């Protein structure tokens, strides 16, 4: 039924990729694997660890903000915590997140391929990722203390501070390299390994999103690479390019940093938008509305993402002309994002919506992400930004778009593809309770930040004036709700992996190719490379089948009467 | 998952790796773009500081030996030619000639590095290096110029070294007949990398040596 | 999304090229290109002796670009390659130029 092919029942004897016997056994069957599915799962386990670590840092930071003055940590510790929280969350979770886990596992199957184009390179990316991640954590324990610059490593402070900036920066550099190689791999895979009949406009929208993302990974990441390298050289040799005392211009650091880091925002969010475009047609039981606009808007977002980095520097002292230009360009980003949101909502219209856990997360995403997007407009507008910049308003905004955007969809993706990953099902009821709990916690945690930011509470301080306390208290309580929600979700998933009910190849009624292969898939995904004849969200076959089932049921009931 | 499947009974599953020269070339080109933008960041810095300090850049450039730069340009261009000729030779199934051309390339690459060594050495000798005594007396613009000079030519030199290693690797594979007249994509990829390194020098040369 | 059969035509990159074939390999053309490159190098060096003022940088960059075109099209074979690579190179150049220009919207007006 998917993509117009008819799912051929598998020979029962064929083992799934967990049980197939390969050259290596035991732990080596994972560490030396070139199977895209195993690599995806290895990313997932590493990322779960890093995410929970950074989440813990976040909770401790919220706890510090419970009362004015020193609550549980010193100012220096607080500085290190928000740096590490940002570095881990951004470089180790949000940027690689959906692409590395679900891109690796699902994308080749959605294309009808046996693996990615360069499987060995894929494994190397994972190792680079791990080296980068371990280095970042390592900087905790060696040298002169954790970097205290914030994840942005702004010069000239980053070249002066005596803390361990060089190692953190080098870790980010290696992670960038990993990201580049993953992007390169996906681009070539999408160009070369589409199965027969899979034309560009028959690719699932998740593939389109990954395609646009991969271009950003390839064409933007090198710029941060060289910038971070320069910070290291600056610290080691004092070459001076970012050092104002030697004639350097620190604003150029900010330019180079954001030339990457703004497009990186789209590396974070585009794959999430791709997943949404998969989940909604599946659970609305309806073809996606506006396939081509959604596909093209992914590319448009990728392109426009390069034009707007200056809005991170409105108050840094860049020229007025460029501030106006960047502000204007920033509003253009709203167009392709808006196209997506309208098309998703239009797909839901008159659909037969089934609110499962992944769908619930997706619906929450549309709500929360829209708040994030709208508050972004106030930051993109020059005059309001000057009031709101460097306040908690910004903190709230990027948590709404990043966590509310990529984070919630990461959770949605895990639930959506969980049966495909493990061949089992989690407890749906608990999953939904966790989703609601997370949504309540999320808004309790971050919404007060909009208010206190608007009232003038600056970001990155461990202390504050007493009049802000009420908002901080609400926010901290929110963090406890959110974390307990996340823990419920994690426990539910782990329990599902251990003892969930076995599931079928297509428990959701999905129409893309990954639902035609068994759950979990065999080592090379397909016995025979499929040939597709229709677009990815063709529900006609599914509807015919359902109608037939319904008629059969009617007949049997008539027979009974 | 059904834990009790007896895995020992199954034959070992070997993943079939299919050859795709076009895909391999595509991967290489994409990688080259990342190199272009890696240097691109530096070119943006260069453009910015040259814009801010035009006169100081001209003054600092007079410290460089234009002849040395020109010789290195010719060396790299020649090495680029020999790589191409090597590819042509392999495609015409002339392994010996191919290896000869590749050796010429390697020698050119090493000559380039030797020249660079003497150039840098002379600068160091005069105290022109970051935080060096001569550089400390110079204007801010000149400090920027030499900062960028060292970073950009240094990074470029590093790429020459990587390129040489890449070429050495494919030469070894040609020798072992892994790469042949019907299977030469890896050699072409090494060539692509080497040409990119050449192109970067094509820009570095006028930007650092030819300012007046 | 049913009727997209026409898109088969654009996928020429997809079906061929798994085993690369040599495109009329020839020593002569490449040597000619090399001679051209050396000639352009000597031109750019000798021009740098003349005081062209603000034009000097433009001329030097134009010559460097021409040299690059030679290297990309002939040595790197882009001229004879699939269209998709030409588009790739175009996209890469476009992004770099856009980023450079936008940076200068700040610099030109900040240092005026």
Contact A191 C110 (CB under 8 A): no
pLDDT for res C24: 67
Distance CA A538, CA A536 (A): 6
- B10 pLDDT more than 60: no
Are residue C73 and residue C87 in the same domain, yes or no? Answer: no
Q: Which residue of C has its CA nearest to A195?
A: C14
How big is the B-C interface in CB pairs under 8 Å?
134
Q: Is residue C97 part of a domain?
A: yes
Q: Is residue B79 part of a domain?
A: yes
Tell me if chain C has a CB within 8 Å of the CB of B84: yes
Report, as ranges of residue numbers, the positions in chain A whose pLDDT lies below 50: 1-2, 4-11
Q: Measured on CA atoms in the order A263, A268, A269, A275, is the torsion positive or negative?
A: positive
**What pLDDT shows up at residue A538?**
85
- Closest by Cβ to B151, choosing from A184, A239, A422: A239
**C65 and C111 inside one domain:** no
Number of domains present in the structure of chain C = 2
Find the CATH number of the domain harbouring B201. Answer: 1.20.120.80
CA distance A376 to A334: 9
Distance CA A519, CA B2 (A): 12
Whether residue A319 and residue C108 make contact (CB cut-off 8 A), yes or no, is yes
Contact A191 C8 (CB under 8 A): no
Query: Which domains are assigned to chain A?
Result: 2-560 (1.20.210.10)
Q: Do A188 and B27 touch (CB under 8 A)?
A: yes
- Minimal-distance CA residue of chain C relative to A249: C107
Q: How close is the nearest chain B Cα to the Cα of C6, in Å?
A: 23
Over residues C35-59, the pLDDT tens digits come to 999 999 999 999 888 877 778 899 9
Chains with 3 or more CB pairs under 8 A to chain A:
B, C
Flag whether C7 is in a domain. no
Q: C32 with C76, same domain?
A: yes
Of A270, A172, A277, A297, residue with least CA distance to A214: A270
Q: What is the pLDDT of residue A5?
A: 46
Closest CA to A153 of A57, A55, A231: A231
**How far apart are the C-alpha atoms of A115 and A104, rounded to whole Å?**
9
Are residues C75 and C86 both part of a single domain? no
ipTM of the complex: 0.91
Instruction: Answer whether B124 touches A (CB < 8 Å).
Output: no
For B44, nearest residue in chain C (alpha carbons): C100
Q: Is the pLDDT of residue C12 over 90?
A: no
Structural domain includes residue B132: yes
One domain, residues C62 and C91 = no
B11 contact residues in A (CB cutoff 8 A): 21
User: What is the predicted pLDDT for the residue at A546?
Assistant: 66
Neighbours, chain B (3 or more CB pairs < 8 A): A, C
Same domain, C74 and C99: no
Same domain, C60 and C88: no
**B85 contacts on C by Cβ (under 8 Å):** 27, 30-31
Percent of chain A with pLDDT over 70: 97
CA distance C68 to chain B (A): 6
Whether the pLDDT of residue B7 is over 80: the answer is: no
For residues A268 and A151, is the Cβ–Cβ distance under 8 A? Answer: no
Over the stretch B31-84, which tens digit does the pLDDT of each residue have?
A: 999 999 999 999 999 999 999 999 999 999 988 999 999 999 999 999 999 999
- Residue C112 sits in the same domain as residue C86: yes
- What pLDDT shows up at residue B2? 32
Report yes or no: C93 at the A interface, CB cutoff 8 Å: no
- Looking at the fold, whether C94 and C74 belong to one and the same domain comes out as no
Domain containing C74 equals: 25-80
Task: For chain A, positions 13-42, list CB contacts with chain B under 8 A.
Answer: 15-16, 18-23, 34-35
Whether B203 sits inside 8 A of C75 (CB atoms) is no
Contacts of C99 in chain B (CB under 8 A): 40, 44
Q: Are A306 and C95 within 8 A, CB to CB? A: yes
Shared domain for C54 and C69, answered yes or no, is yes
Is residue C16 over pLDDT 80? no
The string of pLDDT tens digits covering residues A148-197 is: 888 899 989 999 888 888 898 999 999 999 999 999 999 999 999 999 99
Distance CA C2, CA B196 (A): 43
Does the distance separating the beta carbons of C106 and A251 come in below 8 Å?
yes
Is B35 among the domain residues? no
* Cα–Cα distance for residue pair A146/C17, rounded to 1 Å: 50
Evaluate whether residue B181 is within a structural domain. yes
Residue A238 CA to residue B204 CA, distance in Å, equals 22
Bridge-partner residues for A425, per DSSP? A501
Q: Tell whether B8 lies on the interface with A, counting CB pairs under 8 A.
A: yes
Does residue C19 lie in a domain region? no
Digit-coded pLDDT (tens) for B102-155:
999 999 999 999 999 999 999 999 999 998 898 888 999 999 999 999 999 999
Residue B141 lies in a domain: yes
Shortest alpha-carbon distance between residue A476 and chain C (Å): 40
The three-state secondary structure class of A424 is strand
Contact: A191, C14; criterion CB under 8 Å: yes
C29 and C59 share one domain: yes
Q: Range of B59's domain?
A: 45-209
CB contact under 8 A, C105 and A201: no
Whether B7 has its CB under 8 Å from any CB of chain A: the answer is yes
Nearest to B22 by CA among C81, C90, A183, C93: C81
Residues of chain B contacting residue C104, judged by C-beta atoms under 8 Å apart: 47-48, 51
According to the model, what pLDDT value does residue B17 have? 60
Q: Is residue C14 part of a domain?
A: no
Torsion-angle region of residue A243: left (phi > 0), alpha (psi -120 to 50) or beta?
beta
Asked if B2 is an interface residue toward chain A (Cβ–Cβ < 8 A), one would say yes
C96 shares its domain with C73: no
- Which residues have CB under 8 Å from A225's CB, separation 6+? A173, A176, A177, A180, B38, B41
C100 interfacial to chain A (CB closer than 8 Å): no
> Does B149 fall in a domain?
yes
What confidence score (pLDDT) does residue C6 get?
A: 35
Q: Do B25 and C56 touch (CB under 8 A)?
A: no
Q: How many domains does chain B have?
A: 1
Q: Is A534 on the interface with C (CB under 8 A)?
A: yes
Closest residue in B to A422 (Cα–Cα): B1
Q: What is the pTM of this model?
A: 0.92
CB contact under 8 A, A325 and C108: no
| Partner A contacted by C101 (CB < 8 A) | no
* 8 Å CB contact of A249 and B38: no
Cross-chain Cβ contact A219/C91 below 8 Å:
yes
């Amino acid at each position: 039924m998917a993509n117009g092919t008819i799912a051929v029942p598998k020979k029962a004897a064929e083992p799934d990729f967990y049980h197939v016997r390969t050259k290596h056994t035991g732990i080596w069957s994972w560490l030396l694997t070139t199977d895209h599915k195993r690599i995806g799962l290895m990313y997932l386990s590493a990322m779960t660890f890093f995410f929970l670590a950074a989440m813990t840092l976040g909770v401790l930071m919220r706890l510090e903000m419970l009362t004015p003055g020193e609550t549980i940590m010193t100012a220096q510790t607080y500085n290190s915590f928000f740096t590490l929280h940002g570095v881990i969350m951004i470089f180790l979770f949000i940027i690689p997140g959906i692409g590395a886990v679900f891109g690796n596992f699902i994308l080749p199957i959605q294309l009808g391929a046996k693996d990615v184009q360069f499987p060995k390179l894929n494994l190397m990316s994972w190792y680079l990722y791990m080296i980068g991640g371990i280095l970042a954590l390592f900087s905790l324990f060696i040298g002169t203390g954790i970097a205290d610059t914030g994840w942005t490593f702004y010069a000239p402070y980053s070249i002066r501070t005596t803390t361990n900036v060089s190692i953190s920066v080098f870790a980010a550099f290696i992670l960038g390299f990993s990201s580049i190689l993953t992007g390169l791999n996906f681009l070539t895979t999408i160009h070369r390994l589409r199965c027969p009949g899979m034309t560009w406009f028959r690719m699932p929208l998740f593939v389109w999103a990954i395609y646009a993302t991969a271009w950003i990974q390839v064409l933007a990441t090198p710029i941060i690479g060289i910038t971070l390298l320069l910070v290291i050289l600056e610290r080691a040799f004092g070459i001076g390019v970012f050092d104002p005392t030697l004639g350097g211009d620190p604003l150029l650091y900010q330019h180079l940093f954001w030339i990457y880091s703004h497009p990186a925002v789209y590396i974070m969010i585009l794959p999430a938008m791709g997943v949404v475009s998969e989940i909604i047609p599946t659970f609305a039981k309806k073809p996606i509305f506006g396939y081509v606009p959604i596909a093209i808007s992914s590319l448009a977002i990728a392109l426009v993402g390069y034009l707007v980095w200056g809005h991170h520097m409105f108050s840094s002292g860049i020229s007025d002309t460029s501030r106006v230009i960047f502000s204007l360009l920033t509003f253009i980003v709203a167009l392709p994002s808006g196209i997506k949101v309208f098309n998703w909502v239009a797909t839901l219209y008159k659909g037969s919506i089934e609110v499962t856990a992944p769908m619930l997360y997706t619906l929450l995403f549309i709500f929360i992400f829209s708040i994030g997007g709208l508050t972004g407009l106030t930051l993109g507008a020059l005059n309001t930004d000057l009031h709101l910049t460097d306040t908690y308003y910004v903190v709230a905004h990027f948590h709404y778009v990043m966590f509310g955007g990529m984070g919630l969809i990461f959770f949605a993706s895990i639930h959506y593809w969980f049966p495909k990953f493990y061949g089992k099902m989690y407890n749906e009821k608990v999953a939904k309770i966790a989703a609601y709990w997370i949504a309540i916690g999320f808004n309790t945690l971050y919404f007060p930040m909009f208010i206190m930011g608007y009232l003038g509470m600056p970001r990155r301080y461990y202390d504050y004036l007493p009049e802000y306390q009420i908002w901080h208290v609400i926010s901290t309580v929110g963090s406890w709700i959110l974390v307990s929600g996340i823990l419920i979700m994690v426990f539910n998933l782990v329990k599902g992996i251990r003892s969930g009910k076995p599931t079928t190849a297509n428990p959701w009624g999905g129409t893309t190719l990954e639902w035609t292969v068994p759950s979990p898939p065999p080592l090379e995904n397909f016995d025979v490379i499929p040939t597709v004849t229709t677009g990815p969200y063709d529900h006609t076959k599914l509807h015919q089948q359902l109608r037939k089932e319904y008629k059969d049921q009617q007949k049997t009931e008539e027979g009974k009467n | 998952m059904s834990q009790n499947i007896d895995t020992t009974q199954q034959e070992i599953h070997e993943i079939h790796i299919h050859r795709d020269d076009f895909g391999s070339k595509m991967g290489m080109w994409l990688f080259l773009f990342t190199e272009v933008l890696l240097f691109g960041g530096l070119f943006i810095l260069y453009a910015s500081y040259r814009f801010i300090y035009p006169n100081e850049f001209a003054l600092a450039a007079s410290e460089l030996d234009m002849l040395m730069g020109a010789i290195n340009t010719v060396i790299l261009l020649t090495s680029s030619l020999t790589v191409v000729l090597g590819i042509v030779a392999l495609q015409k199934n002339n392994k010996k000639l191919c290896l000869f051309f590749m050796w010429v390339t390697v020698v050119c690459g090493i000559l380039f590095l030797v020249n660079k060594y003497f150039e840098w050495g002379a600068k160091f000798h005069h105290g022109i290096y970051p935080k060096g005594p001569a550089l400390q007396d110079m204007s801010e613009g000149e400090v920027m110029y030499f900062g960028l000079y060292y970073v950009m030519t240094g990074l470029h030199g590093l790429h020459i070294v990587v390129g040489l290693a890449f070429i050495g690797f494919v030469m070894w594979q040609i020798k072992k007949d892994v790469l042949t007249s019907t299977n030469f994509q890896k050699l072409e990829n090494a060539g692509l990398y080497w040409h990119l390194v050449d192109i970067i020098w094509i820009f570095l040369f006028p930007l650092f040596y030819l300012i007046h | 999304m049913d009727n997209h059969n026409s898109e088969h035509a654009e996928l020429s990159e997809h079906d061929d090229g798994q085993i690369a074939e040599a495109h009329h390999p020839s020593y002569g053309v490449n040597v000619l290109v090399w001679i051209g490159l050396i000639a352009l190098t000597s031109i750019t060096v000798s021009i740098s002796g003349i005081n062209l003022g603000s034009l000097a940088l433009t001329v030097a960059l134009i010559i460097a670009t021409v040299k690059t075109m030679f290297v990309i099209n002939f040595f790197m074979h882009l001229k004879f390659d699939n269209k998709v690579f030409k588009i790739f190179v175009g996209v890469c150049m476009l992004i770099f130029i856009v980023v450079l220009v936008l940076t200068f919207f700040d610099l030109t007006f900040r240092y005026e």
